[in-house]
Amino acid sequence: MSIRVVVVDNSEELLVKLTGILNDMSEIELCGSFPEAITAMQYIKEHPVDLVFSDIVMPDISGITLASKLYELPDPPEVVLLSGIPGFSLEAFKIRVFAFIVKPYTRAQISKVIRLYKEKRSGAEADSTAEIAR
């Protein structure tokens, strides 16, 4: 069973990088990549998604606001927040996102999040938000 993923980042370069990493993973079904959170939220409300990778600092609404709103949905996806500002990890923990990754991220960090998600989905319990170190 594939993992349905959406990526949100207002940086075209980072959007291309992350979608490239995810497209190389056989277990991933990349459902969409969006440069703004509002469009991504509308898509997620209308389509089933398992995992959302989102930048935190964006011009329309922040990744933290996006995650908070997604967690209000009846069947919410898990959210992984990405930021070049490590201090945002505290906010990520407060809203209990699935993981927080400090930019610049690596393929290994993205793979680790996917592995953790697969473990959670298969029944292993995660006690708290995972912070994926550099």
34-63 pLDDT, tens digit each = 999 999 999 999 999 999 999 999 988 999
- What pTM did the predictor assign? 0.89
pLDDT of residue 89: 63
pLDDT tens across 109-134, in order? 999 999 999 999 988 554 455 666 54
At 90 the pLDDT is 64
Strand-pair partners of 5:
30, 51
Q: Identify the pLDDT of residue 94.
A: 75
Q: Is 78 exposed, middle or buried (0-12, 13-18, 19+ CB in 10 A)?
A: buried
pLDDT of 87-110, one tens digit each? 776 666 678 889 989 889 999 999
